Amino acid sequence: MQETFFFQAMVYLAAAVIMVPIAKKIGLGSVLGYLLAGIIIGPAGLKFIGQEGTDIMHFAEFGVVIMLFVIGLELEPSRLWRLRKSILGTGGLQVGLTAVLVAGLALAFGIDWKQALALGMICSLSSTAIVLQSLNEKGLMKTPAGQSSFAVLLFQDIAVIPMLALFPLLASGEIAPATEGGHHSANVLDSLPTWLQPIITLGSVAAVVITGRYATPYLFRIIARTGMREMFTATALLLVVGIAVLMTTVGLSPALGTFLAGVVLANSEYRHELESDIDPFKGLLLGLFFIAVGASIDFDLVLANPALILGLVFGIMLAKLVVLFFLGRSFSLTRDQNAIFSFGLCQVGEFAFVLFSFSSQEGILSKEITDTMTAVVAISMALTPLVMLVNEKLMLPRLTLTADVVEDRESDLVDEQDSPVIIAGYGHFGSTIGRFLQANNIRTTVLDSNSDNIDRLRRMGYHVHYGDASRHDLLEIAGAAKAKVIVIAIGDEEKRLEMIETIKKHFPELHILVRSTNRYDAYDLMNAGILHIYRETLDTSLRVGIDAMTLLGHRAHEATRAAKMFFMHDERTLKRLSAIRNDDEYYSAVRENQQELSRLIQADRTATTLRVDEGWDEESLIADNGS
C-alpha cells in the first residue's frame, strides 16, 4: 500500500465523493455518508487507512473549531444574550444530570467512584459536529429544538475547560499513567505562578474580543483593498488558526475562542465574505472528521464482546435520552420539538476522544476502559444520523398529528372545515397571500412545518396548523375535501412535488396554485400537470425593469405595458420550451442553460407579441391621410 500523502488524500476524497451523494440521495444525510465512507476505507473495511485514523481525527477536529467560528458569525451578540437562559439552564442541567446519572450507573456496575465520575462527565458531552451539521442540513437550526440543541452544545464546549482542570484530581494512583501517545501537552501556564494563570487566561479572552472588535475590521479593509481573494481567505484562516493556538496555549477550548471571535465579528461588514471564504474548509474538515470517526471504530473489539459494547451504547444513549427529554419538557418544548432535541443530542461527542486520551495520560481510566469506551462513543456518534432519521420518519409524523392537530387544536379545526382556501407554507410568500385573502374576508386554513413560526402566528390570532402538508391525513383534517383552492407556498421544491402528487391522488377536485423558484422548477411543475404556476421572482424583477425604464425617461404607462407584454410572452415561451426541453434531456445542464438563454433572446427579438400597441400609433394614419 502506498503511504504517500496524495494516495491518502485520494482515498479520503474518493470515499467522500462516492458515499456522500449516495447517502444524500437515499435520504440518509451527509454525516452518515461520511461515516459510512470512513467505515468502508477503514481497518474494518478495505483497510486503506489503519491506525493513523485517530491522528487524522485530531487534525480534523479543527473542522469543529472552524464550524464554531462560522456559527459565531451567524449569531449576533444580542441573540447570544437572549439565549443565556437556555445555555446556562438547559445546558447546565443537561451536563450535570447526565454526569450524575451515568456516574451512578457506573458505580452500580462496581466501578470506582473517581473513574465513574470521569466517565459520567465524558458521557454528558454530545457531538457538536454531528448534531449541528445534521440540524443545518435539515433546516432545523432556527426551530426551538435547534436553538435548544445549540444552547446545550455551547454549554458543553464551555464545560470541557473545567473538566480538563478537574481530571487530574481524579487520578487514583492505582493506574499507571500512560506514557505513549497523548495529544495534549501541558500548557505553558503550568510553569507560571498560580495567581498569574487566571489573569493571563482572562487577558487572552479579552484580547480576542478587543482584537476582533477593533483591529480585524481595519485589517480586513487593508486586505480587501489588495483585491486578492486568496489573501482574504488566508487572513480569515490565519485569524481562526491564530485564535486556536492562543486558546490552546492558555488551556482554553479553541472552539470556544473562535466562537467568541465569530460572535464579535457577526456585526462587521465582512461577515458574509468571511463566512463564504471559510465555509468550504469547514465542510471538508468536518467531512474528514466524520470519516475518521467511522474509520476509528474498532470492529475487532466490538466483535470480541458485542453484547457489552452494544449494551453500553444502548444504555448510555438511553440515559442521555431520558435526561434530555425531561429537560425538554421542563423547558416547555412542544412534543415534536422535544423529540428532535432529545434524539439529536443523545450520542457522546468528539470531546470524549480528547478526554479519554487525557485521562489515560493522567492515569484516571485504565486502557481497557478507554479502548472500549472509544468504540462505544464512535458507534453512538455513527448511530446519531440514523436515530435522527428514524425519529423524523417514524416518530414525528405521529407526534405532530396527535399533539398539534387532533388533541389540542380540534376546536378551531371544526369551524375551519369549510375554509375555501388552504395555504401550505406560511413564510413571507404564503403569509402575504393569506393576509390578502383575509383582508377580503376569505377564510383560509394555514399549514406550516415551522413550529416557531406557528407559535408566533397563533399568538397574533391566526389559525395555523403545524404539519407536513405533503401528508394526506393532515390535508384531510385541514379540510382539503371541502376546500376549493390550495396554495402551495412552501420553499422546498421537492416537497412541493411530493405535495402535488398527494393532492392529485386524493383531492383531484382541488385547484392547485403553486409557487415556483425559477423556470427550471416551473418546467418540473408543468410536467407534474400543474396549470397555475407562479415564478416567485418574475413579477418583482419586471417591476424593477419598469422602474429602470421610467428612470431612463420612458413613460410609466408604456413601460408598464411593455413589462406586461414581456410577461405574457415569457409565460408563453416557457410553455413552449418546457416541451422542447424534454427532448434534449441528454444535454449537460450548462449547455442547456446557454442554449436556452440564446433561444430566449432570439425569441424576444423576433416575437410579434412584443410589438408596441399599434392602436395608439398614429404614423400609419398620418401616412394614409396624406395619400
Partner 1 sequence: MARVLIQFAHPALSKSKVHSSLINYCRNINDVTFNDLYEKYPDMFIDVAAEQKLLLQHDIILFQHPFYWYSSPAIIKQWLDLVLEHNWAYGTRGNALVGKKMGCVISCGGGPDTYQETGRNRYSVNQFLLPFDQTAHLCKMEYLPPFVVHGTHRITKEELMRYAEQYRAILEALVHDQFSALDYQKVTYLNELAPSLLTTK
Q: Which residues bind partner 1 (CB under 8 A)?
A: 561, 564, 568, 613-617, 620-621, 624, 627
Residue type, 188: V
Q: Please answer whether residues 443 and 419 qualify as being in contact, where contact means their C-beta atoms are separated by less than 8 angstroms.
A: yes
Distance in Å, CB of 481 to partner 1, minimum: 28
DSSP string computed for 479-504: TTTT-SEEEE--S-HHHHHHHHHHHH
Distance in Å, CB of 526 to partner 1, minimum: 22
Q: Please answer whether residues 340 and 396 qualify as being in contact, where contact means their C-beta atoms are separated by less than 8 angstroms.
A: yes
Between residues 227 and 615, which has the closer beta carbon with respect to partner 1?
615
**How much is the CA Rg of the chain, to the nearest whole Å?**
29
Distance in Å, CB of 498 to partner 1, minimum: 33
Distance in Å, CB of 627 to partner 1, minimum: 7
DSSP string computed for 41-96: HSTTTT-SS-THHHHHHHHHTHHHHHHHHHHHHTS-HHHHHHTHHHIIIIIHHHHH
Burial of 301 (0-12, 13-18, 19+ CB in 10 A): middle
Distance in Å, CB of 491 to partner 1, minimum: 28
Measured in degrees and rounded to the nearest 5, phi and psi for residue 511 equal -75, 130
Q: Please answer whether residues 240 and 65 qualify as being in contact, where contact means their C-beta atoms are separated by less than 8 angstroms.
A: yes
Between residues 206 and 568, which has the closer beta carbon with respect to partner 1?
568
Between residues 407 and 617, which has the closer beta carbon with respect to partner 1?
617
Region for 553 from its dihedrals, namely left if φ exceeds 0, alpha if ψ lies in -120 to 50, beta otherwise: left
Between residues 307 and 439, which has the closer beta carbon with respect to partner 1?
439
Q: Please answer whether residues 119 and 365 qualify as being in contact, where contact means their C-beta atoms are separated by less than 8 angstroms.
A: yes
Number of C-beta neighbours around residue 6 at 10 A: 8
Distance in Å, CB of 625 to partner 1, minimum: 9
Place of cell 378551531: 412
Distance in Å, CB of 616 to partner 1, minimum: 6
**H or E element, residue 274:** helix 271-296
Q: Which long-range contacts (CB under 8 A, 24 or more apart) does 451-456 make?
A: 451/143, 451/144, 451/334, 451/336, 451/337, 452/142, 452/143, 452/144, 453/426, 453/427, 454/426
Between residues 332 and 620, which has the closer beta carbon with respect to partner 1?
620
Q: Please answer whether residues 37 and 20 qualify as being in contact, where contact means their C-beta atoms are separated by less than 8 angstroms.
A: yes
Distance in Å, CB of 445 to partner 1, minimum: 25
Q: What contacts 626, CB < 8 A, 6 or more positions away?
A: none
HSE, side-chain direction, 13 A CA sphere, residue 260 = 22
Q: Quick one: DSSP state of residue 215?
A: I
Name the residue among 404, 277, 392, 284 with its Cα closest to residue 344.
392
Between residues 190 and 624, which has the closer beta carbon with respect to partner 1?
624
Q: Please answer whether residues 430 and 536 qualify as being in contact, where contact means their C-beta atoms are separated by less than 8 angstroms.
A: no
Distance in Å, CB of 562 to partner 1, minimum: 11
Between residues 458 and 561, which has the closer beta carbon with respect to partner 1?
561
Distance in Å, CB of 443 to partner 1, minimum: 19
Name the residue among 403, 461, 463, 452 with its Cα closest to residue 427.
452
Between residues 241 and 565, which has the closer beta carbon with respect to partner 1?
565
Between residues 406 and 568, which has the closer beta carbon with respect to partner 1?
568
Between residues 437 and 503, which has the closer beta carbon with respect to partner 1?
437
Helix (H, G, I), strand (E, B) or coil at 514: strand
Between residues 508 and 615, which has the closer beta carbon with respect to partner 1?
615
Between residues 560 and 595, which has the closer beta carbon with respect to partner 1?
560
Distance in Å, CB of 522 to partner 1, minimum: 21
Q: What contacts 568, CB < 8 A, 6 or more positions away?
A: 609
Between residues 81 and 616, which has the closer beta carbon with respect to partner 1?
616
Cα angle: 188, vertex 189, 191; to 5 degrees: 80
Distance in Å, CB of 626 to partner 1, minimum: 11
Distance in Å, CB of 566 to partner 1, minimum: 12
